[in-house]
Amino acid sequence: MTCYKVAEHKILLCERKNPVDVAKQSEEHVHHSFTVSHETLVQACKLFLERQVPVDGLVHRAQGFFTGRELYFFDPSGNKLELRDPNWSAGMPELTVEELAAA
């Protein structure tokens, strides 16, 4: 695993154990991540619930290189994506997608 910082962006490269044809069938850690504001993450939760976009997970990460609240989902092509709000930190409420959407 290697991490690069380019301007405001951080790129984490992970090597796959085996090649796969579809991202949904890949190792769970292979994805594209986008850092967003808290407001953008809340809006995404509202939109995903409204449009019935399946959420693969909502993680509250207190430790590691990338900390914050992370929303995982798949795009229509099957690529795993992450929206990460770096403003969340340990000790803050760990809200569900539904609770964030209601905010």
Residue 23's identity, in one-letter code, is: A
**DSSP track, 43-64:** HHHHHHHHTTPPEEEEEEE-SS
Name the superfamily (CATH) of residues 32-103.
Answer: 2,3-Dihydroxybiphenyl 1,2-Dioxygenase, domain 1 (3.10.180.10)
Helices of type H across the chain = 38-50, 97-101
Give the pLDDT of residue 2.
75
> What is the tens place of the pLDDT at every residue in 5-64?
767 777 776 666 665 555 455 556 678 889 999 999 999 999 999 999 999 999 999 999
Spans of all domains in the chain = 32-103
pLDDT band for 86, please (50, 70, 90 cuts).
very high
